[in-house]
């Protein structure tokens, strides 16, 4: 309360009173809904979603397997070009010696200018091979660095140290067809896609039937006021029925569409399995034939090297012409290059075989086929 004198008379007074009214209200709202899955709509939706998730994981394995194949193939290329470079440098040294010998014999009158020119041409052709091989080594090394996500400088120096070509030596084990189906991630992708498409048929069929949902809400509130305390909790609850009366044609068309998608997924799965079997058979045949080719070329290299030694000795003794020596050198170079290329191809075919059987990519990380022995040999 407050008092105030008016005009200083002390007679008239005005009394003011102030009253504060404080009210606190607390309220909330909770809504609940239950879906009655009478015809398996949500169950089949869940199956489809889980199958699609498995397919996505298997797709990641497909990409990972492709990366591994590219990485290993690039490493094989690096070692192949290094082997070719080493052979070219060795051949260059031999041909330079022949060239020097021919020039010496020209001065002694035992050789013609034509012999010198031919020997020099062989030296120059060998020199022309070396820059291209060095470039190919660096290109393959740079590609490996890119695949690993590393700077080229961090990897090239290590690769340039050189090593022998990787050569497969061991038994060939492709497993059984059941292993192939378990291991190949692309087959798992196709299989899970088929499972998802099949589940979608159930989803489309369930939509033909009525659906019932139970929903409710609770809205509690509490009032706190001076002298007054109270609470109120209104609620509601009831079912909702959905009858697909006027959408029958559209829903039946959805069922046919889902069945068509499932048929397409089945054909894709079947084609994937047949392609996988074909790739395994081709890789097995290639690896077996590669071993025979490498063995024959190794024998050919030995024969040509012996021919070169005999022709060189005969030329020094004057019993044969320089043309025989140059031809023997060419044959050695071609045989060595063919052997290096065959070793490279055999290594790549072995990699393709492991990729074809999906080695190491069984679900859960279990390997269903034993690993073969791979060694690296010096060229």
pLDDT digits (tens, 9 = 90+) for 317-367: 777 777 888 888 889 999 999 999 999 999 999 998 888 888 766 655 454
Looking at the domain assignment, is residue 215 inside a domain?
yes
Tokens of 189: 């992708």
Looking at the domain assignment, is residue 273 inside a domain?
yes
Looking at the domain assignment, is residue 2 inside a domain?
no
Looking at the domain assignment, is residue 155 inside a domain?
yes
pTM, entire model = 0.76
pLDDT at position 12 is: 47
pLDDT digits (tens, 9 = 90+) for 131-157: 999 999 999 999 999 999 888 887 888
pLDDT at position 10 is: 47
More confident residue, 371 or 175: 175
pLDDT at position 16 is: 46
Q: Count of domains in the chain?
A: 1
Domain boundaries, position 108: 22-376
Domain with residue 342: its CATH number is 1.20.1600.10
Across residues 6-29, what is the average pLDDT?
A: 55
Indicate the pLDDT class of residue 166, thresholds 50, 70 and 90. confident
Decide if 377 contacts 200 (C-beta within 8 A).
no
Looking at the domain assignment, is residue 367 inside a domain?
yes
Looking at the domain assignment, is residue 203 inside a domain?
yes
Looking at the domain assignment, is residue 15 inside a domain?
no
pLDDT at position 95 is: 86
Indicate the pLDDT class of residue 379, thresholds 50, 70 and 90. very low
| 56-65, 243-252, 264-273: range with lowest mean pLDDT | 243-252
Length of the chain: 379
When the pLDDT of each residue in the chain is averaged and rounded to a whole number, the result is 81
Looking at the domain assignment, is residue 3 inside a domain?
no
């Amino acid at each position: 309360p407050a008092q105030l004198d008016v005009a200083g008379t002390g007679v008239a007074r005005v009394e003011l009173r102030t009253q504060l009214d404080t009210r606190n209200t607390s309220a909330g709202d909770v809504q609940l809904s239950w879906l009655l899955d009478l015809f398996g709509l949500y169950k089949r939706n869940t199956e489809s979603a889980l199958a699609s998730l498995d397919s996505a994981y298997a797709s990641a394995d497909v990409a990972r397997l492709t990366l591994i194949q590219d990485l290993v193939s690039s490493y094989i290329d690096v070692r192949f070009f290094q082997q070719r470079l080493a052979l070219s440098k060795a051949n260059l040294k031999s041909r330079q010696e022949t060239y020097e010998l021919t020039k010496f014999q020209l001065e002694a009158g035992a050789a013609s200018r034509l012999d010198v020119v031919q020997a020099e041409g062989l030296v120059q052709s060998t020199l022309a091979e070396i820059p291209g091989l060095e470039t190919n080594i660096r290109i393959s090394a740079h590609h490996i660095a890119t695949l690993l996500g590393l700077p080229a400088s961090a990897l090239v120096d290590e690769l340039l140290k050189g090593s022998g070509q990787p050569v497969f030596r061991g038994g060939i084990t492709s497993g059984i067809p059941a292993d192939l189906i378990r291991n190949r991630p692309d087959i798992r992708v196709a299989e899970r896609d088929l499972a998802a498409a099949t589940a979608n048929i159930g989803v489309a069929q369930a939509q033909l039937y009525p659906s019932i949902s139970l929903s409710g809400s609770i809205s509690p509130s509490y009032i706190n006021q001076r002298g007054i305390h109270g609470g109120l909790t209104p609620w509601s609850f009831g079912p909702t029925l959905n009858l697909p009366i006027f959408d029958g044609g559209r829903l039946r068309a959805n069922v046919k569409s889902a069945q068509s998608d499932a048929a397409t997924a089945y054909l894709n799965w079947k084609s994937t399995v047949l392609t996988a079997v074909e790739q395994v058979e081709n890789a097995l045949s290639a690896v077996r034939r590669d071993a025979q080719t490498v063995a024959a070329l190794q024998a050919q290299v030995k024969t040509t090297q012996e021919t070169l030694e005999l022709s060189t000795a005969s030329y020094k003794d004057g019993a044969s012409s320089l043309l025989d020596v140059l031809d023997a050198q060419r044959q050695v170079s071609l045989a060595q290059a063919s052997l290096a290329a065959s070793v490279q191809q055999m290594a790549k075919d072995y990699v393709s075989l492991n990729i074809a059987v999906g080695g190491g990519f069984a679900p859960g990380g279990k390997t269903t086929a034993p690993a073969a022995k791979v060694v690296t040999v010096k060229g």
